[in-house]
Chain A
Amino acid sequence: MSGFKLSTTLFALTNEWLSREYTFESLVAKTVELGFGPGLEIVGFQSVRGYPTLDPEFERSFKDLVERYELEPSCLSANIDMARRPDRLMTQDEVKESLAAQVEFGRRLGFPVVKAQKIEDDLYPWAADLADKAGVKLGIEIHAPVFVEHPLVVGLREVYDRIDSPALGFVPDWSSTMTALPTGQLRAFERNGLTREQTDFLRELWDRGGAPHELFEEFADKARSEGATEQAIHQVRIVFSMFAHNDPRGWLELMPRVVHVHAKFYELEADGTDPSIPHRELFDVLVEGGYEGYVSSEWEAHAWADMDDQDGFEMVRRHQELYRKLLAERAAGTLA
């Protein structure tokens, strides 16, 4: 019997949030009304004015919502804005200050995990101590374009092994283990100046795989020779940083240190089929890996889809329905 729990991330409801038709409270209330959760994840810089400073009024209302709806804060999604200054990256002291403020924010609101992007290797002993004292786990996100065998991740695993602190972990993001480029993204590129033939070529390049930068250059050369504008070409960069093609079973190596999961998806149909994310294989990896934390339903096609075309609530509902079905099958021992 697997012990993981489902979670909503309000990031999946970005379009609804940006429509300004909801307050923070009413957005959360609707997820509860639709039966999502019990976990709740937020992106600090998205949901909270003044973040990472914690306004006492927000703290009160957040805790009140959690209690009223029996929610379980699952993960605070933090960001280290390394390039916030145009002239230079953050110094190590600035990274520490930024991360410490966000860990403190997470601690006060009861989040068991604070997710961040990778920091410099020699900061992890300090970060382990920071997280340990706050009673949270720091989860470094493993997101496309990297995967478990990427030198950055291999290096991080060695650092973790050396420090061996339970306060340090990973947050896998399913963007690293996709089976196809989302069709909606390709259609969006066509609306912004590429031809269908060019997006077909992009799909072929992505399927073939290789170093992201080289794939992009190969695409750019061809599209440029066919008269595509620099603007139309530039938008494609995101393909090689946001979507990657790897075997889901690769995640098993990381599972002992996984502290939270971003179940990224884009185009899940009502019948549970999905051309770009292998949900069932990923579910099996979580079960086989003995994962016991939260799995956030992270629908991200709002990056190109309008709210009128795709309803974020419905996409999260489908995802959680699929996972609940798989969990029930698992519990009943009917899964092959």
Chain B
Amino acid sequence: MSLAASMLDDDALRAADDGFELDVHLNWYRSLPLSSLKTVEVTVNGEAIDRDEITWVVNGAEHRLDDLGEHWDEIWFVLDPATIRVPRPLVRTGDAAEVTVRLGNRIPYILIGPDQALEYVTEKSKTLVAR
């Protein structure tokens, strides 16, 4: 396990009625406010998903990515997966898919400029069989 290695579990991908879901783990060593999440990029079998197509499920609630900034007082616990939900049927149960996820989190206590936090970006690719 490393920060990158732990991002995608073998059973991370699920086909859903209208699309698919992908569980991801945090790419940092500690829990972070939901507002830290800045970059989320997903490709499935080489097909890129638009940012607007993605919703983010964490702590039992579903958010548009652009709304996460408002949730600075809520924590994504480091051991809990979050779920990326995409309403596009790109995977079918039992099929293997090549999935790439790129996560970038602003690290809120590491400032690299007067008002600028370090963004820590991790990319992970993995072949996953959809459940």
A and B bind: yes
- Report the minimal beta-carbon distance from B90 to chain A, rounded to whole angstroms: 25
Number of B interface residues, CB 8 Å? Answer: 32
State whether A87 touches B29 (Cβ < 8 A).
Answer: no
- Report the minimal beta-carbon distance from A154 to chain B, rounded to whole angstroms: 19
State whether B106 touches A15 (Cβ < 8 A).
Answer: no
State whether A79 touches B2 (Cβ < 8 A).
Answer: no
Of B25, B38, B72, B116, the contact of A18 (CB 8 Å cutoff): B25
State whether A45 touches B31 (Cβ < 8 A).
Answer: yes
State whether B35 touches A45 (Cβ < 8 A).
Answer: no
State whether A307 touches B30 (Cβ < 8 A).
Answer: no
User: Is B111 part of the binding interface, using a Cβ–Cβ cutoff of 8 Å?
Assistant: yes
State whether A83 touches B1 (Cβ < 8 A).
Answer: no
State whether A89 touches B115 (Cβ < 8 A).
Answer: yes
Q: Mark A1-16, 1 if CB is under 8 A from B, else 0.
A: 0000000000100111
Of A14, A86, A237, A308, the contact of B29 (CB 8 Å cutoff): A14
- Report the minimal beta-carbon distance from A55 to chain B, rounded to whole angstroms: 12
Which of these binds chain B: A58-66, A132-140, A251-259, A298-306? Answer: A298-306
Q: In the complex, which residues 68-97 of chain A have their Cβ closer than 8 Å to any Cβ of chain B?
A: 79-89
Q: Mark B1-37, 1 if CB is under 8 A from A, else 0.
A: 1110110000000000000000001000111110110
Q: In the complex, which residues 288-336 of chain A have their Cβ closer than 8 Å to any Cβ of chain B?
A: 302-308
State whether B5 touches A306 (Cβ < 8 A).
Answer: yes
User: Is B87 part of the binding interface, using a Cβ–Cβ cutoff of 8 Å?
Assistant: no
Number of A interface residues, CB 8 Å? Answer: 39
- Report the minimal beta-carbon distance from B77 to chain A, rounded to whole angstroms: 5
Cα distance, A226 to B73, chains bound together (Å): 43
Of B35, B69, B77, B115, the contact of A49 (CB 8 Å cutoff): B77
State whether A83 touches B29 (Cβ < 8 A).
Answer: no
Cα distance, A84 to B69, chains bound together (Å): 9
State whether A18 touches B30 (Cβ < 8 A).
Answer: no
When distances are taken between beta carbons in the complex, the residues of chain A under 8 Å from B115 are: 83, 88-89
State whether B121 touches A237 (Cβ < 8 A).
Answer: no
The closest CB in chain A to the CB of B109 belongs to A79
Binding site for A on B (CB under 8 A): 1-3, 5-6, 25, 29-33, 35-36, 38, 69, 72-73, 75, 77-79, 106, 108-112, 115-118, 121
Binding site for B on A (CB under 8 A): 11, 14-20, 43, 45-46, 49-51, 79-89, 117, 231, 234-235, 237-238, 241, 302-308
The 5 nearest A-B residue pairs measured at CB = A81-B108, A83-B117, A46-B30, A307-B1, A45-B30
- The 10 listed contacts between A and B (C-beta, < 8 Å) are A18-B25, A45-B75, A49-B79, A50-B77, A51-B31, A84-B72, A85-B69, A86-B106, A234-B121, A303-B3
